[in-house]
Structure 1
Amino acid sequence: MTFEQYVKNLDVPQNNIDVVLDTDAYNEVDDQFALAYLLKSPEKLSVKAIYAAPFFNENSSSPEDGMEKSYDEILKIIKLAGAALPDGCVLKGSRKYLQDEHTPVHSPAAQDLALRATGYSPQNPLYVVAIGAITNVASALLISPEIKENIVVVWLGGHALDFGNSNEFNMAQDVAAARVVFGCGVPLVQLPCMGVVDKFYLSEPELRYWIDGKNALCSYLTETVVEAAERYAKGRVWSRVIWDVTAVAWLLNDSNRFMSSRLIASPIPEYDHHYGFDPNRHFIRYVFEIHRDALFEDLFQKLTK
């Protein structure tokens, strides 16, 4: 790939594009919004596959259990959204994290991406939106390193460069995978969590006013947020980030209507949960500002159609 083409692939796509989504959909409430937003944006985004990503926290007993629960949640959202997707397009991902930066974790998702990407090119790339631990994507790049020419990765992971650390859930779960993706030279768009996309949050009154009861999908999304918030903030004022939506929104960010970004030298995710820096590394695109109201307006309009 030429340098000019590489930089072009870091811009917001202007044409209709093919997309795969890698999501730990059962981990939090925001993945469901992101998946629904993707499914409700067929005017530009053609969904080719959805991969279940591993996660391990209070909502799972292991990374494998998190992946299995995410697989089931993906199917639930697709049904609620009334989306017509090809048979077999939802695939199970990694059952564990990378053991090092050289050994892939083989899974149906990683194998699918490694093969699927061979049908694309630098001039017509496949867009890979990742909103969980990036194990599946890193594994595909390790299985078939040449696919970095044919894909663009959009990842919600890490924190803002000036936040003080990179100890964000998606990145901290699998630092080796993050190092593979940030270091291999694949065109990468990073949406950092704390310090940038944490501005994309909503409250219960907003949910109730804009989407609750509009359809089965909207009611489900509302209740998942409210139930989650009631578990940790019952009787208190609360708001809830649904930041995973911003990764999908990057693909729809014509004229920077939803976010602002710049090119930077690719930072280095370190195992001590900080970033390393080398100004001679290749460029990635770094999102540094979210235009909250404009994005919520588009999200709510599509969810309530």
Structure 2
Amino acid sequence: MKQTILTSAVLASLSLLAACGSDSDDDLQPQMTRFSLAVSDAPVNGAKVVMLCFSEIELTGNGVGNQSFTVGDDDAAAEANDECRDAQGTIIPNTRGIDLLLLDGAKSEALLTDADIEAGNYGQLRLEIAPGSYVELEDGMREPLQVPSNELKLGSLTLVEGGNANYTLEFDLRKALINPPGQNAYLMKPTGLRLVNNTEVGHLTGQVAEGLLINNNCAVAPSDASVPVAAVYLYQGADRPLNELSDNGGNKTYQPYASTNVYFDGVSAYHYSIGFIKADNYTVALSCDVDDNPEAADDISFLQAKNVVVSPTATPVEVDFMD
């Protein structure tokens, strides 16, 4: 009887120790989350193609070492393609070339899908850009596209344990893409990039009446549908006065949150779209001035403006300029 009681006590103690050890092991396990990243774009004048060559996605600064994903190697990363080539025409391995001009409005293309990473606070998201990026102009000429240090360095991220974080990097090329004087190359500036959480953004679309364009001496019905006839600017906050609205390189009171072009559909309609806008109140303004140098203040005249509330939904809100 005493032996039975002793044996039971020993077994109970061993079970308790095993349970404690299991809890301790669980505490030491990394707390994981899932992370996805895509890219999108707002269009720019004078270019037929803006090809950007991505090679690696990296999260840094969580105290656990860098979390890196290489195009074409990691399952979560995008597949490599043959768009990025060196000066001899040889395909650059582990690269994915993306023509940003194909991703206007709410369109996007994934760079990283459901990557399992450790949760926590990351100080920086970095995208490594490979050689082979270029801008193809309307006349068919190609110019190299350069990124400082061959990296796009973005802001901090907080990824919650057990979450499923979906982010999009929006390229506002009317701000980001410049052609410095005296250089046979284009430069991608980080000031025109927006990294947004997809659960916190909405989209904007609309049409412009041809009569409004004609009455204000704007271009109409171009034979080439890729040529913009007007521009739309977006400013944070409602009721922004027209005379205080700045262009992308200007210094007036209110700076654009985003901007885009208005295009003719080849039949009778004129349309625009801006994607991945942080949910908020905005002023939308229309101008017939399509040339906007992001490095200088241009003489931009606005025809009219309207207020809009952008909500975090996949369905775009519509703002039309019809009179």
Give the TM-score range, shorter chain: under 0.3
TM-score by length of 1: 0.25
TM-score by length of 2: 0.24
Q: Determine which structure has the larger strand proportion and give its number.
A: 2
Q: Determine which structure has the larger helix proportion and give its number.
A: 1
Bigger Rg over Cα: 2
